[in-house]
Amino acid sequence: MENLYQIKRICCVGAGYVGGPTMAVIADNCPEIEINVVDRNVERIKSWNSKDLSKLPVFEKGLSEIISRTRDKNLFFNTQIDFAIENADMIFISVNTPIKSIGLGAGQTSDLKWVESCARQISIKAKGHTIVVEKSTLPVRTAKTIKDILFASEDQLAVNNKKTFSVLSNPEFLAEGSAISDLEEPDRILIGGEDSKSIDTLAAIYCKWVPLEKIIKTNLWSSELSKLTSNAFLAQRISSINSISAICEASGADVYEVANAVGKDSRIGAKFLKPGPGFGGSCFKKDILNLVYLCNFFGLKEVANFWESIVNINQWQQDRIYKKIVESLFGNISGKKIAILGFAFKAGTNDTRESPAITISRNLLIEGAELAIHDPKVQSEQIASSLEYGYEIKESDSQDLITNERRWRFYKDIYKAAEDSHALIIITEWNEYRELDWEKISKKMYKPSWVFDTRGILDKSNIQKYGIKIWQLGDGSGND
């Protein structure tokens, strides 16, 4: 133990999808450590402190139970960023790192302005020795930026030697929807750094609940690159099976049979081979684009093209689904009501970042369709901001219906969404969509009625028996 730093207080800057759940699990397993999760977004902090646990800003199974055990005991959510930094022995940087929207590298690399401002705040406010941990997923060599900023202030104070830093990379591998179990029973914990005492100190925290053999220690750059590579490999599997879904439809094969047969090879494995409307979420596209940017930076054009094609196939999959819908509805959807079932990027989360529902809905709206959107977890305000239509949301007379002008409406009732619609599109694989009453739906829809199942969750024959036409992703049986 004498070779470790003593950690009494942790500060996590950024109370988002990553910071909140990660700190909750650390607090739950380390009651002796005081953890302050700080954010400059006052509303977000208010939600984390909300008495009604259903109002937490992140919806994750098991999270509210942990919050009720730890909040205001050793886990605190507040906006006193400077104070928390000053008093922390270890600081996690868990701020947002979206793809840059303007300037050099726009659309390709992460915008590091939040990371940089956070590093500057730390460099000014930290006291004594502070271990700074990169938690957000960042482009490789971001640790260098953080180090340059921190160590500049270290140099300034070198005379009285009061302020020192170690920078570690400790990427997060949690997936939304299973965040708590991913954090409680991770496949591995990755800690990259140069200073073994700091690495061991962070490892000792995880050792409270993670077996030692699951903790991997690497250099800083390997850790940063491993995170990008893990996400790129996962996304690559999805684009691979999605590309095969198109061949299945053309050739008479069934993509679920193919995925099952391929996944049985123990060298390949069955996970991340589910075909769908394309991957969404805040990480996959951003991380691949960061990898592509890095390859181009190092002059590795062929490698950059290889990884870029994964993102291109993902876009193509979303576009081809939308085209299939328009073609099936006689090439004209103007004024036709179409029900979108599911707006989250996957089931089990209320997150819509990069959701395929956004691209597909936008394209259908551009063609003139009127959309009836349902999602059991996503709020209509969130859909409005994702679709960027910017109209003011108005409550309608009906309790379960909120309207946004007349182009799209949010429905809480799936059957009302289906009423008078020409087509119903399953985009998110929510369980409630597996158990719909198709007889009831068939009576409400326009004829010919269409169902487009982009997740392969519906029982085709049960739908066809009510006279509804169905298209399922990767189902080539129509070619027989």
Catalytic residue positions, numbered: 172, 227, 283
Distance between CA atoms of 302 and 246, rounded to whole angstroms? 25
Identify the sign of the CA torsion 365, 367, 371, 373: negative
Tell me the β-bridge partners of 75. Answer: 35, 71
3-state secondary structure labels for all residues of 6-43: CCCEEEEECCCCCHHHHHHHHHHHCCCCEEEEECCCHH
Identify the sign of the CA torsion 39, 42, 47, 49: positive
Q: Which range binds ligand ADP by CB under 6 A, 68-76, 111-119, 151-159, 371-379? A: 111-119
**205 to 244, contacts with ligand UDX by CB under 6 A?**
231, 234, 238
Partner whose footprint covers residue 280, from ligand ADP, ligand UDX, none (CB < 5 to 8 Å by kind): ligand UDX
Distance between CA atoms of 310 and 131, rounded to whole angstroms? 36
Q: Which range binds ligand UDX by CB under 6 A, 39-47, 82-90, 94-102, 273-281? A: 273-281
Binding of ligand ADP by 16 (CB under 6 A): yes
Calculate helix-pair angle for 301-328, 356-366, nearest 10 degrees: 50
In the complex with ligand UDX, the residue whose CB is nearer, 272 or 466, is 272
Q: Which range binds ligand UDX by CB under 6 A, 27-35, 191-199, 276-284, 371-379? A: 276-284
Residues 346, 374, 409, 422: which binds ligand UDX (CB under 6 A)?
346
Distance between CA atoms of 31 and 12, rounded to whole angstroms? 16
Binding of ligand UDX by 274 (CB under 6 A): yes
Residues 5, 17, 307, 345: which binds ligand ADP (CB under 6 A)?
17
Which x/- pattern, by CB under 6 A, does the window 48-87 give for ligand ADP? ---------------------------------x------
Strands 423-426 and 337-341: parallel
In the complex with ligand UDX, the residue whose CB is nearer, 142 or 421, is 142
Residue 401 Cβ vs ligand UDX, minimum distance, rounded to whole Å: 27
Binding of ligand UDX by 281 (CB under 6 A): yes
Angle at CA 254, nearest 5°, toward 249 and 259? 120
In the complex with ligand ADP, the residue whose CB is nearer, 25 or 248, is 25
Binding of ligand ADP by 96 (CB under 6 A): yes
In the complex with ligand ADP, the residue whose CB is nearer, 42 or 157, is 42
Q: Is the preceding omega at residue 448 within 30 degrees of 0, hence cis?
A: yes
Which x/- pattern, by CB under 6 A, does the window 170-189 give for ligand UDX? --xxxxx-------------
Tokens of 55: 């109002």
3-state secondary structure labels for all residues of 272-323: CCCCCCCCCCCCHHHHHHHHHHHHHHCCCHHHHHHHHHHHHHHHHHHHHHHH
Distance between CA atoms of 13 and 97, rounded to whole angstroms? 13
Per CB under 6 A, residues contacting ligand UDX are 172-176, 231, 234, 238, 272-274, 276, 279-281, 283-284, 345-346
Per CB under 6 A, residues contacting ligand ADP are 13-19, 38-41, 44, 81, 94-96, 114, 117-118, 136, 282
